[in-house]
Amino acid sequence: MAVLAPLTISSLLLGSVALTMSSAQAVPSATCTVTDSKTAGKFDVSGKGWKPGKTIFLEANNTHTSSLKTNANGEFSSTGFFPAGATITALQPGVPEATCGTAKETDQKDAQEQYRAGYRQGVADTKADCKKDAPKQGVAALDPNYEKGYNAGAAAVLASALCKK
């Protein structure tokens, strides 16, 4: 009996902790990005991972505010509304705010992602036979950052011990 009492109490405590943890709502992974707009001097804001069908607030430099509703998938888009150069923050009740940044930051992030993708592909293509081929072009023209990354990846493999025999 003396052994069972502590076990019963500890299992009740663990059960209440598990109940508390399972009843907490999982917060979606809310993100947003800023891109240049077709409207001169303005830019667009879009996001995903927000609560579906709920109002979201967009702030530019903590002064200029706009509100709109997310769609059924928790996505939103605001076109040509904010002045260029402003830093955008997205807010929705019950979801941590997200800094969308600026159009320049989005362009830099895209350039880095293209470079990394090109680098990985250059390594993979060159590692197969230790010969540098030109990057494979699809329907669209190659992104210059992808091409730079591809060439750097291929050069790294050619200079490595893997290709020196």
Six-digit token string for 63: 């002064």
pLDDT by residue, tens only, the chain of 165 residues:
554 444 444 444 444 444 333 333 444 488 888 887 777 767 788 899 999 999 999 888 877 778 889 999 999 988 877 666 778 888 898 888 888 877 566 666 667 777 888 888 888 888 878 877 777 766 566 777 788 888 888 888 888 877 776
Instruction: State the maximum Cα–Cα separation within the chain, in Å, rounded to a whole number.
Output: 79
Neighbouring CB atoms inside 10 A of 47's CB total 23
* C-alpha–C-alpha distance, residues 164 and 104, integer Å: 41
In 3D space, the residue among 78, 100, 84 whose CA is nearest the CA of residue 33 turns out to be 100
Q: Which domains does the chain have, with CATH numbers?
A: 31-101 (2.60.40.10), 107-159 (no CATH)
Six-digit token string for 152: 């750097």
